Amino acid sequence: MAKIGWILVLGMLLAGCGASPASRPPSSTLPPATATSAPLETVTVLADGLAIVVPGYQASCISDPTLSIPATGGWKPLEDFIMEHHYLDGTFKFVAAMCDVVVCSKVSPENPIRLGFPLYEYRGERTYLKNSEAGTYNLMVPDYRTVRPSGKVKLDVIYFLDQGCNQQRTYTTILDLPN
């Protein structure tokens, strides 16, 4: 039985490494945007998110890009990862997640900054009834809904000029995502 498991794992690894362009999800590349900071080289729209290439480095866990949608009076940022207990689309989610290792890595076409879809829109707080040894009490937790962004959006990308991830830059651009 163990031999079959290893064969399946090896098969999945080889399939992932040898994927032909025809088997990849459809994508489109938006032209470079103009801004007052360093130019954003490319934003590639994938079926499951964005792949972003900027001239520098990314610090994992602390420099995720932010996608915002139009809102009354400005832009409303969407979350790409929720690291606490929360409601999502009306269902309570227990989360025990954190990031304890920050890695500074070079951004390149082979190693782009990624932002996955769907994203999550913060809607406020909601009461969660918690039971413990001390009894039952109300706990206020964040309430989110799933969002698949399309149309006009704002992208903020934090990146660094040096390999130690000390010289931070932010690039902002407006994109028109397909439906």
In a domain, 5, yes or no: no
Domain of residue 130 covers 24-177
In a domain, 161, yes or no: yes
Q: What is the pLDDT of residues 26-69, one digit of tens each?
A: 444 444 444 444 455 788 999 899 999 999 999 988 778 999 99
Number of neighbouring beta carbons within 10 Å of residue 50: 24
Domains in the chain, number? 1
Predicted TM-score (pTM) of the model is 0.69
